[in-house]
Structure 1
Amino acid sequence: MDIKFGKKVFIRNAGKDEYWLQDLIYENPSILGLGNLQPVTKEKLQPSGGRLDILLKDPVDNTMYEVEVMLGETDPSHIIRSIEYWDNERRKYPQRQHIAVLVAESFDRRYFNIVQILSLNIPMIAIQADLLEVNGEYIITFTKILDIYVEPEHEEDAIVVNESFLSEKAKWTLDTVYEFCKYLTDSNKLNFTKSYISTVFIP
C-alpha cells in the first residue's frame, strides 16, 4: 500500500477565505458527514442583524441544521453566534427539530470544554475542517469531534437481573458461585445484580 504523507495548511494560507468554505459546504452538504442533507439558504439575515452562514435540512424528517463556519480557531463569539442563530430559527420554526453546527479549523481545548457543557442542554455538533497539502495538491476533510448528547439509559432499571439472566449471560460465573456455596451453610440466599452476586445467610 502506497501511503502518502500530508501536512495541515490553514485555509487562508492556501489563498482561500471563509466564503469559499461556506460555498463548498453549501454545494456539497454531505461532506460534513451528517447524512444526505439539502441546502436551504446561506447568509440568512437574522433579527439581531447578523447572518446565519448556512441553513441545511434533512429531507426525511425536516430537521434543520444551523451551520456557522469559522476559519482558524473557534472563539467565544463563534460559539455565541451559533447558539443565537440556532435559537432564532428554533423560535421561528418550533415544530421542527434544530441542531447547531460549529465548523472551524481548530478548537481550543478551553472553548471546546465549554461547547461540551453547553451541548448537554443544546443539540450541538462540532466539526473540524482540515486542509491537507499532499504532493502539491490540497485535500480537505471534515471530522466530527462532538456529537449530539444522548442521555444514557438506566440499564439497571430496564433489565431484570435474576438467575435466568445470569445463566445466559455469565453461566461460568454463576456455576462458580454455586460451587462455592456448597462449602457454606445450606441456609443462604443469593441476590443477583448486573454487577455482582451477593450471599445472604439466613439464621
Structure 2
Amino acid sequence: MTTSEAQKRRKKEKRIQKEIEQEPELLGLGTMTLKAREKRQINGRLDLQLKGYDDSKTRYEVELQLGKLDNDHLLRCVRYWNYERRKCPQFKHYAVIVAEEIPEYMLEEIVLFKVPIIAIKISIDQSSGKIAAAKRLDLPIYEWAIVENQKCEEIEDITPFDMAYLETKLSEESLRVLNEIYRLAREVNPETEMNITKNYVGFTDCNLYSYMFVRNKNDSLILELVLDESPDIKNKIQEAGLIFKNPGNPYTKHKSKHGHYDIQINIEDINKKEKEIKELIEMAYEEISK
C-alpha cells in the first residue's frame, strides 16, 4: 500500500469510527452507548469502548480496520481488551474487531486466543462512504469470569469536541482569533479541516497531517507552526512583530521529523499582520506536504 492510499484509508476509518460512535447499534450487538473514544492506554489508543445500554456490567473494546484484517490490528484489539479487563475485572469485557475483510486464516487465529472476541465484517457503501451492512461472524465465545465487589476508577470520555465545546472554553475574542486562523488556513489550502480535541485544535490537510495547532494558555492563544528549526524562519517571525510564547526557547523539538514554533497571537495580530501570518501558515503547510 502506498503512503497516499494509507492516508486515505486512515481518513475513511475516522469517518466510520465517528458513525459507530453516533450509532453503536450499527454493529448489530444490540442497544449500546459510547463509553469512551480514542482511549489512551499503555499499549496505545483504543478506538472505542462501548457499554450495554441497560447492562452496566458489560464493556466492549472495539478496534476498527478498513480493508483486510491483519495481525497487528488483531493483537492490538486483544491487548486493549486485556488491559481493560485487568483494570476493571468486575465487568464482563468483549474484544470486538471490526473489518471489511476477515480471511479464514484470521478466524482460525482468533479462535486460538481463547478469549471473548467478537468479529464483525462490515461493508461500506461506495457512494455515501457509510456502513451499509454489518455481519457478526460465527465464532465460539470464551466467557471469562468477572470479579465481584472490586472497584475501578472508570473515566468516561464522551464529551463531543466541537465548536459548541470550544464556546464553553474560549473567550469571545479567542474564538474570533481561532476562526480567523481557520479562514487563513483555508485560503492556503481549501481542504484544511479543524481537528478539535480536549486540549488543542489541530489544522490538518487532506491527508490528516497536522501542520499547525492552536492551544489556549491562560486565556491567550498559542499558535504552533509545524516547521523545521531555521534562523530564517525565526527572523521572519520576529520581523513580523509576532511574540514567541517563550522568547528564550521559541522552538519546541520532538522525536519526530518536525518540531514547531510557538507564537502568542491575538486579534490585533490578525488585523495588523494578516499577510505575514498567512505566509507563515503557508510555509508550515508546504513543509508538512513534502
TM-score (normalizing by structure 2): 0.43
Residue type at the aligned position of 2:134: F
Hey, what does 1:64 align to over in structure 2? 59
State the alpha-carbon separation in 2 of the partners of residues 36 and 59 from structure 1: 6
State the alpha-carbon separation in 2 of the partners of residues 137 and 39 from structure 1: 23
Q: Find the partner of 1:122 among 115, 120, 124.
A: 115
State the alpha-carbon separation in 2 of the partners of residues 15 and 123 from structure 1: 27
State the alpha-carbon separation in 2 of the partners of residues 66 and 13 from structure 1: 24
Instruction: Report how far residue 110 of structure 1 moved.
Output: 1.4
Unaligned runs of 5+ in 2: 1-6, 144-290
Hey, what does 1:30 align to over in structure 2? 25
Structure 1 pair 16–146 and aligned structure 2 pair: CA distance change class (3 A): farther
Residue type at the aligned position of 2:123: D
Instruction: Report how far residue 131 of structure 1 moved.
Output: 1.4
Q: Find the partner of 1:144 among 112, 136, 139.
A: 136
State the alpha-carbon separation in 1 of the partners of residues 30 and 139 from structure 2: 13
Q: Count residues with an aligned counterpart.
A: 136
The one-character-per-residue Cα deviations of 1:21-64 (angstroms, maximum 9, x if unpaired) are 1111111000101010000111000112x100000001322200
The percentage of aligned residue pairs carrying the same residue is: 36
User: Which of structures 1 and 2 has the larger relative contact order (alpha carbons within 8 angstroms, sep 6+)?
Assistant: 1
Bigger radius of gyration? 1
Q: Give the alignment of 1:184-203 within 5 angstroms.
A: none
Residue type at the aligned position of 2:136: K
TM-score (normalizing by structure 1): 0.60
Q: Which runs of 4+ in 1 moved over 3 A?
A: 12-16, 136-139
Aligned-residue CA RMSD (Å) = 2.5
Unaligned runs of 5+ in 1: 1-11, 152-203
2:66/2:99 contact within 8 Å kept: yes
The one-character-per-residue Cα deviations of 1:131-170 (angstroms, maximum 9, x if unpaired) are 144xx5666211111345269xxxxxxxxxxxxxxxxxxx
SS at match of 2:111: helix
